[in-house]
Amino acid sequence: MSGAKVLQFLQNISRRKPLEPEGEVSNFRRCLTTLDLVALGVGSTLGAGVYVLSGEVARAVAGPSIIISFLIAAVASIFAGLCYAEFGARVPKTGSAYLYSYVTVGEIWAFVTGWNLLLSYVIGTSSVARAWSGTFDDLIGNVIANSLGKQVAMDLPGLAPYPDFFAAGIIMLLAGILAFGVKESATVNKVFTAVNILVLLFVILSGFIKGDINNWYRYEDTLPNQSENYTTLNKTTTYGSGGFFPFGFEGTLAGAATCFYAFVGFDCIATTGEEVQNPQKSIPLGIVASLLICFLAYFGVSATLTLLMPYYLLSVHSPLPVAFTYIGWGPAKYAVAVGSLCALSTSLLGSMFPMPRVLFAMARDGLLFRPLSNMSDRQSPVIATLASGVVAAIMALLFDLKSLVDMMSIGTLFAYTLVAICILILSQPVLSLHVYLFFKLQSSEFWGVWVFFFPLISFNNASPLLYPQVPFVPLLPIFSTFVNVHLMAQLGSDTWIRYTVWMGVGLIIYFCYGVRHSVQKQRLENSHDRVSIHSIAAAMEQSTKPGQDVTG
């Protein structure tokens, strides 16, 4: 391939989509309010992270320091949330980070971002469905696990102990509800979210009443032995060394990488740009409010959990119901279990809601198969909804929760990193001004001017659509990128292998289908053809003027 062809190919895959593309119309119904978005963000986030994942991370990874893990994960999510809030107001279209990347850095990176988002949403849906199934199974005495575990056991690494047909069925049921219409789905979500918050308030108050601070300071000599031959080394490996950081600060950081999954969900708000009544106001408010509520809930519930009972006794599958049984509040565990089912239902709806919309946006742009962009009579992306539901149901059927959670985290972190990089690219005029001030002043007065005007310039250097812009550019996006990459590095090699396979499949689809069917490619070609026709017509008009020498 010649150098010219290589250059042409690179230009093709880096083409950017205009903010208001010619010929693109929205078929969605604008019916969602700010309250709908807050409920959607909270509902999609407060699910498995509170009721399931916290027990597993506290018991085997972080101990009582899980509250610090949630804090670190929340900070990373808040940084990413500010970036999403800016883009959601600046580009109020369906597609979330996929569309932001397309408008800012080009087509190939947009596809990579969208493919990562699809990974996050598919696995988020699958993992929450498995958590829903596990919680319900606990309520009925583990009938499902006992029967399927014996009859159709799967003994392969990375797969679940048995195929979870119940979880797969739940996904398909909710996919049908979502395909019916967005307003109806939002109403169901608000009811379940209200029940969820009430249950979490009860849990946190219980921690204040029955919690024992001594559970945060159980040192090595108080840890239980499993047998007479159980060595100190084995005990340390299983339970850690006790105290608030039983697995060291490294365990806290590793816990943060997994706990980051618990904050995944707010970005679904950004996919509603074409369905919100006032996207410039509602999207930023929805993202910020939902992240704040979720952080307070995660911090409070994880603290309660580790105060109610020692971390090494926590249940991996249903930590809160078991914790209430431990303190003698037997009936309370049923209320918590029912509340957790409501929470997992909203989380499942929230995970499934953005998935077909990203699929729809990519298909509308020609990067994925066109039938996925078909709309129903009720203005819902019905084919994309059902197709994504089938894929998520298959994942829930086969894979275990931990494998799903880690794969989801890596995909989401990669997408968040690209969003932060897009913010840096958009803020180039701001950075140029800072560099100019530095070389112009070259003295201590520069620092006074810089410190005073930096946040103001960063905040106000925006288009009229921007409400609000990310402050402290470029420091905040750079720090967000650093935190995201560090959390990605904490994930295991198995996760990276699965992620590589997923990305390989996506790139094959893009280079075999998306490059040739890109709608933006067709727009550019049509624009070039129109320019050529106008040029020829103008030349012919000029050549036919009276007295013009047409032979020269």
- The owner of tokens 């569309």 is 99
Contact 266, 290 (CB under 8 A): yes
- Cα first-last separation, the chain: 39
State which CATH number among 1.20.1740.10, 3.40.50.1000, 3.40.50.300, 3.20.20.70 fits the domain covering 33-140+156-427+470-516.
Answer: 1.20.1740.10
Distances (CA, A) of 365 to 237, 274, 356, 549: 51, 15, 14, 48
Instruction: Give me the pLDDT at residue 363, please.
Output: 92
Contact 400, 161 (CB under 8 A): yes
Phi and psi torsions of 32, nearest 5°? -95, 140
Give the CA count within 13 Å in the CB-facing half-sphere of 130: 29
The residue extents of the domains of the chain are 33-140+156-427+470-516
* CA pair distance 305, 49, nearest whole angstrom: 13
Instruction: Give me the pLDDT at residue 435, please.
Output: 41
Q: What is the DSSP letter of 249?
A: H
Please choose, from the candidates 36, 343, 333, 48, the residue with its C-alpha nearest in 3D space to the C-alpha of residue 197.
343
Instruction: Give me the pLDDT at residue 118, please.
Output: 86
Phi and psi torsions of 159, nearest 5°? -95, 160
Q: From the CB of residue 330, how many other CB atoms can be counted at a distance below 10 Å?
A: 10
* CA pair distance 359, 375, nearest whole angstrom: 12
Q: Before 246, cis peptide (omega within 30)?
A: no
- Kindly give the parts of the chain with pLDDT less than 70: 1-2, 23, 48-49, 158, 218-238, 261, 401-404, 426-472, 529-535, 537-552
* CA pair distance 85, 270, nearest whole angstrom: 8
Instruction: Give me the pLDDT at residue 513, please.
Output: 93
